[in-house]
Amino acid sequence: MSKNEDLSEYTEIKLDVEEEFKDVIGDVKEFPKYTTQIINLANQNSQGTRPKVVGQLSELIHKCPVKTFKGWKEWYEENYPDAVDKATKKVSGMIEKLREAISKIDDEMIKEWVEDLVITKTAEGLVIQEAILKNIAERLGEEWVKATPEDESKNIDGYIGETPVQIKPSTYLSKKPTVRDNIEVEIIYYKKTSKYLYIYTKML
């Protein structure tokens, strides 16, 4: 479709997706409310449908010689007869762990989680900035200060001695140059894990 072309020039055909799928695969499976969210979480945690368990499905579907749903189902079950059961076992085991975890959740824990999300996590960036400024300044024997609102409008997060610095997560480096801000001050990068804060600087 060209830039100046729109769909008004095309004939529109409207299909009932549910009916179309039903004709091909039979009754569309329906699950009780919220259950699929829990099963999906258990699958993510258990890696039940990873390629090593069920195969690289995006490639296998193209290897299947019969290009129909029925053909694909029969071909997959013949070539990977235990895959679905293995995945089910992994997910089922994680469901039991989630059941145990849910039984430990009470109002007090929920309140602590909400406070951590709303208050602590929101301020995490500020805490990281202060920790980085303080650590590098101490190593250089310099004073440090946080940026003023005016400084922040110039992409400055703080000063180490007389040097203005910008503090960015290391993932910023993966952005295309056109996406990055035009930053002309010293940039300090960091990577945070659950246990450590890694700092990357050229100032030392």
Number of domains in the chain: 2
Assigned domain for 183 exists? yes
Write out the residue range of the structural domain in which residue 97 sits. 12-103
Q: What angle do CA 13, 14, 17 make, to 5 degrees?
A: 130
Residues 150 and 189 both lie in one domain: yes
pLDDT digits (tens, 9 = 90+) for 144-161: 999 999 999 888 999 999
Residues 81 and 141 both lie in one domain: no
pLDDT digits (tens, 9 = 90+) for 71-97: 999 999 999 999 999 999 999 999 999
pTM: 0.65
pLDDT digits (tens, 9 = 90+) for 15-54: 887 777 887 888 778 899 999 999 999 999 999 999 999 9
Q: What are the strands of the beta sheet with 163-169, ordered from one edge?
A: 144-146, 158-160, 163-169, 186-192, 197-200
Residues 128 and 99 both lie in one domain: no
Residues 59 and 80 both lie in one domain: yes
Instruction: Look up residue 191 and give its two tokens.
Output: 């990577």
